[in-house]
C-alpha cells in the first residue's frame, strides 16, 4: 500500500489521530508520542498552566497556551544519548516515531523543532539547579554555571586562603589548544537568536568578544612550513561560516577546561 493512501485523515490509525473537538496535549515520552486530554486546575489559588505541567513532570514547549509537553524522562534520555552516543535531535525524534508506530512512523506528528528548543532550556534548568541558583536572574558572573577542576589548587575552595601560594605544590600548569575541524555557520535570522547562558559557561561572552575582534587588527602571517593549518586557514574563504574552529584553555595536569575561556576562531587562530 502506498504512503499516499494513508494521508487521508479517515485512514490514519486511531492512536495516531489527534482528538477532534477537545482540548488535548501532545505528550512526548520515551514510550512514544501520545495525545492526552488535559484539563488544568482553575481554582483561585492555582498555579499557571505551564507551572502545573512542571509540577506534573512535564516541560511545556511554550509558556503561553502550551499544546506540546515533554516528560522529564524523555529529556534526560535525549541528553544522555546525545552525550554518550552522539545522537542528534533528528535521529532521536525519528527513534521516538518508530517507538510510537513502527509501521507508520511518517504519520506521527512532527515535534522535532520543539524537542531542540525544550532540550536547550532543559540543559539550562539543570545547570541552574546543580549550581544552586533559583533562577536565571541571580546568575550574573562569568562562568557561574560550570565547575573548574576540583584537583587544581583554588584558594578558599580546596586550600587555605592564608596558604603561601608561592609554594611549588600550589602552582598550576595551563595549556592552550585549538580545534580546526569545528565549524559553525551564520544564523539565518540572527535577530531571533536568544543567548540562554552567554558567558556563564565555558564559552566567553559574545558581545565583548565580538567587540574585541573588531578592535584588534588582523595581521597576515607567512609560514615557512608546508601546509601549516593554523596559518593556511587564516587566508581561507569563510563563505557562510561564522567560525572555523575553537580554542580553549585547560589545566595541563587534569585536562579540565577553564570556565569562560573557550573562544571561536574566525580565520585560523584569529
Say if residue 227's pLDDT is above 50: yes
For the segment 158-200, what is each residue's pLDDT rounded down to a tens digit? Answer: 888 888 888 888 888 899 888 877 777 777 777 777 778 888 8
Say if residue 6's pLDDT is above 60: no
CA distance 114 to 165: 50
Can you give the pLDDT at residue 10? 60
Say if residue 138's pLDDT is above 60: yes
Amino acid at each position: 500500500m502506498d504512503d499516499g493512501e494513508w494521508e487521508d485523515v479517515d485512514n490514519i490509525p486511531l492512536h495516531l489521530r489527534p482528538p477532534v473537538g477537545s482540548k488535548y496535549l501532545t505528550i512526548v515520552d520515551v514510550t512514544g508520542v501520545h495525545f492526552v486530554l488535559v484539563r488544568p486546575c482553575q481554582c483561585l489559588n492555582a498555579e499557571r498552566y505551564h507551572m502545573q505541567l512542571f509540577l506534573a513532570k512535564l516541560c511545556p514547549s511554550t509558556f503561553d497556551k502550551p499544546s506540546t509537553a515533554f516528560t522529564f524522562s524523555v529529556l534526560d534520555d535525549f541528553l544522555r544519548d546525545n552525550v554518550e552516543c552522539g545522537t542528534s535531535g533528528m535521529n532521536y525524534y525519528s527513534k521516538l516515531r518508530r517507538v510510537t508506530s513502527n509501521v507508520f512512523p511518517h504519520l506521527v506528528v512532527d515535534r522535532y523543532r520543539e524537542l531542540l528548543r525544550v532540550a536547550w532550556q532543559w540543559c539550562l534548568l539543570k545547570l541552574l539547579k546543580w549550581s544552586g541558583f533559583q533562577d536565571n536572574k541571580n546568575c550574573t558572573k562569568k562562568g557561574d554555571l560550570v565547575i573548574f577542576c576540583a584537583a587544581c589548587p583554588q584558594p578558599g575552595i580546596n586550600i587555605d586562603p592564608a596558604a603561601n601560594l608561592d609554594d611549588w605544590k600550589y602552582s598550576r600548569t595551563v595549556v592552550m589548544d585549538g580545534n580546526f575541524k569545528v565549524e559553525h555557520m551564520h544564523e539565518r535570522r540572527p535577530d531571533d537568536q536568544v543567548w540562554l547562558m552567554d558567558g556563564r559557561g565555558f564559552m566567553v561572552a559574545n558581545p565583548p568578544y565580538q567587540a574585541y575582534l573588531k578592535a584588534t587588527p588582523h595581521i597576515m602571517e607567512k609560514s615557512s612550513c608546508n601546509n601549516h593549518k593554523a596559518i593556511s586557514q587564516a587566508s581561507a574563504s569563510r563563505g557562510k561560516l561564522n567560525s572555523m574552529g575553537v580554542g580553549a584553555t585547560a589545566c595541563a595536569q587534569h585536562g579540565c577546561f577553564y570556565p569562560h575561556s573557550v573562544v571561536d576562531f574566525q580565520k585560523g587562530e584569529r
